[in-house]
Chains A and B, each alone.
Chain A
């Protein structure tokens, strides 16, 4: 059998993730310090893990409702109302998904027809463009720049809009840049979208991780935008629950219903244990006034400042990110491409970073460094990067 004849062209034509290559090299280097990690360096807090263990002991091993556990949906709705002032009915406007990633896929498949365009601010998370392609659509990059602190400008959005535009993915706080968008900036985007039928897929997975006085605004909370917005979020980043794979998609019922339909026929439901754990995570957060989250944010904030200061000090110009747990310094002064910089740094100094180009062509000239790693390791990694840069 000639496999290339049977594989869907749309799938075959999507290049493999640029990150994979680095992962394979790093695996053979036990001494390497990885700043390529995309998840918290905390293990899920014990009470959350315990809830899952208890549910197993209790024999909770069945499917849940396709929508997700009712008590979890109620907590998610309460959380979004309390935290971001967006109201969704837990009955039919909150869908528990297998990570926010499933939400991205569901939203795109529910919306995109062949020939439809989906605008994606760039640089951004590696999955958006491939998911648009898999859904049969065409990804359209709206480039964001350091000068605009990697926020999507109304001009860039307007320039990317065409009659074929079906949706806009709004990934803020942003991976990999750490860029955030203020309420006023979001309002400016809203004015561009008013009068169009463009749906906004707002991926707010890093919403809890914001710094320096920035307050996260949910796009659905912008006046008039709720009706066109699919809000995606999850438990991975705020509660250190990446491996549990629990997220959620929220939207007005009629907009969410097609996502639900696909979910119902494909995934059925997120795992019972993941949902029980997520339920405990939110329950605990309500009880403690989000104390754990606040402590975690303070801890990231300190590492963020450490990274920005050290990178600037060694001549790698680094925009001050206000969200997520990444810094995205410019390496242009070194004269190397992002890919060469990362490859050489890894081979010579055993520090793994991710080339900016993994997040779109406009990421050239930058590298992504995650600071979700102990201060001790960060300091060691920074010392190695400094030695590497000085040698160039």
Chain B
């Protein structure tokens, strides 16, 4: 049973995962123990999967390349796309994986240290998986928005500081 408290918790954590159960309790008019139990329930139900920071790596010294790879596959009898997706998601290079409608089947978001490593991943690991019939790789050039947050070109608070 999905409660209003659950919804509040998800909205709060979605905005800032650092907010403590005690603070959530204050914000929702609940008590800390109830919030902890609710969070636990959301974790066990697989709704709340993890707590990650959103990092704009492009503003660091770190070298990396990212690509979106469109993958066409032959679905397997009875298992459909799941079995092949299970294979692909094992690689550390794969950051996200989606089953898509349209011109291709799977969309793989990949990350590697260098162009060479990424190329190697595509041609010697991904393309050779049984059932993969074709790939098309697009390199990402710049992140403007990710996880609902604007990384580049966001607007400041433009409101008048004091208004009646």
Contact = CB atoms under 8 A, between A and B. Distances in A.
Interface in B6-36: 7-8, 11-12, 15-16, 19, 23, 26-29
Contacts of A19: 162-164
A225 B27 CA distance: 37
A37 B160 CA distance: 7
A37 B26 contact: no
Contacts of B26: 305-306, 309-310
Contacts of A22: 162
Interface string A8-39: 00000000010100110011000010101111
Interface in A60-114: none
Given A37-B159, A39-B159, A375-B16, A358 B164 contact: yes
A34 B160 CA distance: 9
B163 A38 contact: yes
Interface in A252-277: none
A245 interface: no
Contacts of B11: 295, 298-299, 302
Contacts of A352: 161-162
B155 interface: yes
A384 to B, nearest CB: 16
Interface string A351-384: 0101000100000000000000001100000000
A125 B29 contact: no
A221 B27 CA distance: 32
B155 A23 contact: no
A127 B164 CA distance: 8
B163 A302 contact: no
Given A302-B11, A305-B29, 15 more contacts: A22-B162, A23-B162, A34-B162, A37-B159, A37-B162, A37-B163, A38-B163, A125-B164, A126-B164, A305-B27, A309-B26, A352-B161, A354-B162, A375-B16, A375-B27
B93 to A, nearest CB: 33
Given A302-B8, A376-B16, A38 B29 contact: no
